Chain A
Amino acid sequence: QKEVEQDPGPLSVPEGAIVSLNCTYSNSAFQYFMWYRQYSRKGPELLMYTYSSGNKEDGRFTAQVDKSSKYISLFIRDSQPSDSATYLCAMSVSTGRRALTFGSGTRLQVQP
């Protein structure tokens, strides 16, 4: 069993929809939780990070962490075609948020 599980999708939604992306994990030592976005033929780029249970909002993106359930989510409001990409959750046990353990990624397609 992988330490981090993520639904691979693909997920197809109409423009303007609310998107929910989820990951579960088994290692309770994970302290930092991140979401990366990866466009085709590009390296991942960091969208959000958090280290505590609860919600963190940044524009149209909200990251949610539930450490008791070992479950994290990323919500995208008012999704745009430019949001079409693969979304990767990542976690770290180190205080420096390095040596990341990634989920397998969810491919999102936002239809105009």
Chain B
Amino acid sequence: KAGVTQTPRYLIKTRGQQVTLSCSPISGHRSVSWYQQTPGQGLQFLFEYFSETQRNKGNFPGRFSGRQFSNSRSEMNVSTLELGDSALYLCASSSGTSGEGETQYFGPGTRLLVL
């Protein structure tokens, strides 16, 4: 089974621009979560989508948004980029159903640098 894929892997933007990152979950997985990883704050949960609906949301400003398509692929968008948005953005997929068997599988991440 192919793993979680994220595109692009690297991105350089300037302050004020917006960016869209893409995530393709493992086949059959319906839940996609997004995390931000920085040296200072570590890994922080952004939001989770399940069946095209946002199911959970972390404590991030409204500049961070996401969506999920009918094929479970997900995109996250950051508008009006700030220097502090420079980070590794990780996507994780899971079956989306509660229970013992659920595990989140992470992609390799998209490294965003804001200049």
Contact = CB atoms under 8 A, between A and B. Distances in A.
Nearest to B43: A102
B56 A102 contact: no
Given A44-B43, A88-B43, A104-B42, A96 B108 contact: no
B90 A100 contact: no
A95 B101 CA distance: 11
Contacts of A96: 31, 94, 96-99, 102
B106 A44 contact: yes
Given A43-B90, A104-B42, A105-B42, A99 B103 contact: no
A46 B103 contact: yes
Q: How large is the interface on A (under 10, 10 to 19, 20 to 34, 35 or more residues)?
A: 20 to 34
A61 B46 CA distance: 29
A89 B3 CA distance: 22
Given A43-B109, A49-B103, A99 B42 contact: no
Interface string B18-49: 00000000000001010100000011110010
A94 B106 contact: no
Main secondary structure on A side of the interface with B:
loop
A97 B102 contact: yes
Contact of B44 (A43, A46, A49, A102): A102
23 contacts: A41-B108, A42-B108, A43-B4, A43-B90, A43-B92, A43-B106, A45-B105, A49-B103, A88-B43, A95-B99, A96-B97, A96-B98, A97-B94, A97-B104, A98-B48, A98-B55, A98-B104, A99-B33, A99-B45, A99-B48, A102-B35, A102-B42, A105-B43
Given A43-B108, A97-B102, 18 more contacts: A41-B108, A44-B106, A46-B105, A49-B103, A88-B42, A88-B43, A94-B98, A95-B99, A96-B31, A96-B96, A96-B102, A98-B31, A98-B33, A98-B102, A99-B58, A100-B33, A100-B35, A102-B43
Please give me the 6 A-B residue pairs with the lowest Cβ-Cβ distance, nearest first: A43-B106, A102-B43, A96-B98, A99-B56, A104-B42, A95-B98
Interface of A: 36, 41-46, 49, 88, 90, 94-105
